[in-house]
C-alpha cells in the first residue's frame, strides 16, 4: 500500500512538471491591427515609420516598419537612429532589412542603420519591440526615428497606447510574482549591484524559503522520523516476509502508534507547487518581454538558451550548437550543477531502507534529478538559477537542522508504548523485548510469550 501511494505521488509530480513545461497559459486576444505612423518628406529623401497597431496589450509584440527612399538623382549616405522610449524593449533578433547594413544595440535599446542608396532606391527596416507586462498600462509611447542625410535631418514617429486586460485570480498571482522580481531588480540596479536580475532571483528564492520554512521543517522531520523507524520496520519485514498484506497492515499500525504519516513529506511539496508554477510562468513572461536579457557571471543571458517554453533543444542539437560552442557550454554549466545538487539533496533526505519495495521506489526517484536537468535545458536560465539556489538553501537547512532534530525523533522512534490498550492486532505489534534489543543493537527474534492465568 505504501509503495503504491509513493509511486502514485511520484507519477503525479512528474506529470505536473511535464504539464508545466509543455502547456501555455491563456492570454487575452490582441486588438485588431491598425497601421499607425507618420512620415517626413524632403524633395530628395522621404522617411516613413508605421506601427502594426495603435493599441497593444502589455507583454505582446508590436512591429515597426521604417522606409527610407532616395528621390534624388545622386547616391546618398543616410544614417538612421531609432531610440526606443522608456516602456518599450527592443527584440534584437527581430531586426531585418532589404538593403544596407544594420547594427542593433540592445543594451541602449536602439536601432541604428547606415548605408548607400542609389537613385530611386529605398531601404526598408523591420523590427519588433515589447511593452513589458510589468510596466504601467494606459501609456502613450511615442517612438521617433531620426534620419540624417548630410545637413538635412528628418523625423518620423509612431504612437501606441498600452493596456492591461482584466485577469483572473491565477493570472493576477503570476503577475504579482513577476512584479516582485522586476522591482527587486530595479532596487539592486539602483544600488549599482552587478547582475541585478540574477541576484534578484536569488533574493526572491531566499524570501520564498523563509516564508515556507515551517513546511520545509515538517518535510525534514518527516524524513528523519521515517529513517529512525527503519529498525522496527526491518523487524516487521523479517517477521511477515511471506505475507505482504499482513506486513502492510503491521506497518500502518506502527505508523499510527508512532504518530507518523508516510506521506507527510509530500504535503509541503504539494503546497508549494502553486508558487513554483506561478514563478515558472512569471519568469517565462519576463524572458519573453526581454526584461531578463542580461547575463549572470558566465551565463550569456538569463533569458537563454530559450526564451519560451516551445524552444526545445534546437539551440543545442543537432551539433554543432546553433548558438556556438562557447555559449552552449556556458549554458550547460548551470543544468549540470542543478543535477549534482539534486542528487546530493536526494541522498541527504532519503532514509536508508532494506525494504525491496522502498529500494525500488528510491531507484525510481533517482530519475528526478535528470528530469530536472532536462527541463533546465528547455527553459530560461533564470528559472534554472531559482531551482539551483533553492536546492542549495534546502541542503543548508537540512545540514544545520539535522543534529537537533535527530535526537528527539530517535527517542520517539525507540520508546516503548505506555498505552495499556493493545494495537489493532496484537500479533502485528513489536514486543517490549524487541524494542529493548533494538536499542542494544541485538538481533531480534520475535516470540510470543504465553500468558499466565492468574
Give the rounded distance of the alpha carbon of 310 from its chain centre: 15
Distance CA 358, CA 135 (A): 50
Q: What are the residues facing 112 on neighbouring strands? A: 81, 103
Tally Cβ neighbours within 10 Å of residue 450. 6
Q: What are the residues facing 285 on neighbouring strands? A: none
Nearest to 40 by CA among 50, 54, 52: 50
Q: What is the pLDDT, as a whole number, of residue 67? A: 92
Distance CA 53, CA 34 (A): 4
More confident residue, 283 or 419: 283
Mean pLDDT (the chain) is 75
Grid cell listed for 255: 505508523
Cell numbers 516551445 correspond to 310
* Residue ranges of E strands in 290-332: none
Grid cell listed for 164: 492591461
Residues of the chain by 3-state class (helix, strand, coil), percent to 5? 50, 20, 35
Grid cell listed for 429: 505489534
Q: pTM above the 0.85 mark?
A: no
Grid cell listed for 108: 541602449
Written in H, E and C, the secondary structure of 257-276 is HHCCCCCCCHHHHHHHHHHH
Render 206-247 in DSSP notation, one character per residue. HHHHHHTHHHHHHHHHHHHHHHHTHHHHHHHHHHTTT-HHHH
Domain with CATH 2.60.40.740 in the chain: 36-163
Which residues have C-beta within 8 Å of that of residue 19, sequence separation ≥ 6?
none
Q: Is the confidence at residue 72, as pLDDT, over 90? A: no
Which CATH number does the domain 36-163 belong to among 1.10.10.60, 3.30.365.10, 2.30.40.10, 2.60.40.740?
A: 2.60.40.740
Range in 21-25, 29-33, 176-180, 361-365 the model is least confident about: 29-33
pLDDT 10s digits, 398-447: 777 764 444 444 344 344 333 434 344 434 444 444 444 444 444 444 44
pLDDT 10s digits, 245-265: 777 787 777 777 776 666 655
CA distances from 254 to 61, 413, 436 (A): 60, 10, 16
Q: Is the confidence at residue 33, as pLDDT, over 60? A: no
Q: What one-character DSSP code corresponds to residue 138?
A: S
Give the rounded distance of the alpha carbon of 122 from its chain centre: 45
Triad 204, 209, 210: Cα angle to 5°: 95
pLDDT 10s digits, 93-143: 888 877 766 676 666 789 988 888 888 899 999 999 999 988 888 899 999
**Residue environment code for 245-264, b if the CB has 16+ CB neighbours within 10 A, otherwise e:** eebbbbbebbbeebebebeb
Amino acid at each position: 500500500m505504501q509503495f503504491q501511494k509513493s509511486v502514485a505521488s511520484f507519477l503525479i509530480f512528474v506529470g505536473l512538471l511535464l504539464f508545466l513545461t509543455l502547456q501555455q497559459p491563456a492570454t487575452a486576444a490582441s486588438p485588431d491591427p491598425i497601421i499607425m505612423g507618420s512620415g517626413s518628406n524632403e524633395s530628395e529623401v522621404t522617411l516613413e515609420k508605421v506601427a502594426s497597431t495603435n493599441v497593444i496589450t502589455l507583454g505582446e509584440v508590436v512591429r515597426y516598419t521604417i522606409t527610407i527612399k532616395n528621390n534624388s538623382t545622386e547616391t546618398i549616405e543616410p544614417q538612421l537612429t531609432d531610440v526606443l522610449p522608456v516602456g518599450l524593449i527592443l527584440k534584437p533578433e527581430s531586426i531585418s532589412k532589404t538593403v544596407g547594413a544594420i547594427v542593433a544595440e540592445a543594451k541602449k535599446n536602439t536601432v541604428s542603420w547606415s548605408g548607400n542608396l542609389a537613385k530611386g532606391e529605398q531601404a526598408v527596416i523591420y523590427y519588433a519591440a515589447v511593452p513589458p507586462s510589468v510596466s504601467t498600462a494606459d501609456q502613450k509611447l511615442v517612438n521617433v526615428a531620426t534620419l540624417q542625410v548630410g545637413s538635412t535631418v528628418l523625423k518620423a514617429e509612431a504612437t501606441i497606447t498600452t493596456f492591461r486586460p482584466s485577469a483572473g485570480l491565477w493570472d493576477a498571482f503570476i503577475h504579482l510574482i513577476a512584479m516582485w522580481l522586476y522591482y527587486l531588480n530595479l532596487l539592486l540596479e539602483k544600488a549599482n549591484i552587478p547582475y541585478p536580475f540574477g541576484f534578484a532571483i536569488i533574493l526572491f528564492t531566499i524570501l520564498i524559503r523563509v516564508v515556507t520554512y515551517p513546511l520545509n521543517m515538517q518535510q525534514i522531520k518527516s524524513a528523519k522520523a521515517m529513517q529512525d523507524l527503519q529498525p522496527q520496520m526491518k523487524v516487521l519485514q523479517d517477521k511477515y516476509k511471506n505475507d505482504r498484506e499482513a506486513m502492510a497492515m503491521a506497518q500502518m499500525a506502527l505508523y499510527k502508534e508512532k504518530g507518523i504519516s508516510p506521506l507527510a513529506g509530500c504535503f509541503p511539496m504539494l503546497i508549494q507547487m502553486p508558487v513554483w508554477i506561478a514563478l515558472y510562468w512569471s519568469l517565462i513572461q519576463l524572458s519573453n518581454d526581454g526584461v531578463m536579457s542580461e547575463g549572470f557571471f558566465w551565463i550569456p543571458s538569463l533569458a537563454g538558451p530559450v526564451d519560451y517554453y516551445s524552444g526545445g533543444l534546437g539551440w543545442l542539437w543537432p551539433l554543432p550548437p546553433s548558438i556556438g560552442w562557447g555559449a552552449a557550454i556556458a549554458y550547460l554549466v548551470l543544468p549540470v550543477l542543478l543535477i549534482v545538487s539534486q542528487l546530493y539533496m536526494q541522498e541527504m533526505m532519503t532514509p536508508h531502507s532494506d525494504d525491496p519495495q522502498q529500494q525500488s521506489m528510491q531507484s525510481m526517484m533517482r530519475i528526478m534529478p535528470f528530469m530536472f536537468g532536462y527541463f533546465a535545458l528547455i527553459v530560461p536560465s533564470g528559472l534554472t538559477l531559482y531551482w539551483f539556489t533553492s536546492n542549495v538553501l534546502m541542503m543548508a537547512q537540512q545540514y544545520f537542522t539535522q543534529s537537533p532534530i535527530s535526537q528527539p525523533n530517535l527517542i520517539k522512534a525507540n520508546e516503548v508504548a505506555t498505552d495499556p490498550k493493545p494495537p489493532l492486532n496484537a500479533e502485528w505489534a513489536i514486543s517490549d523485548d524487541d524494542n529493548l534489543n533494538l536499542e542494544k543493537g541485538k538481533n531480534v527474534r520475535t516470540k510470543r510469550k504465553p500468558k499466565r492465568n492468574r
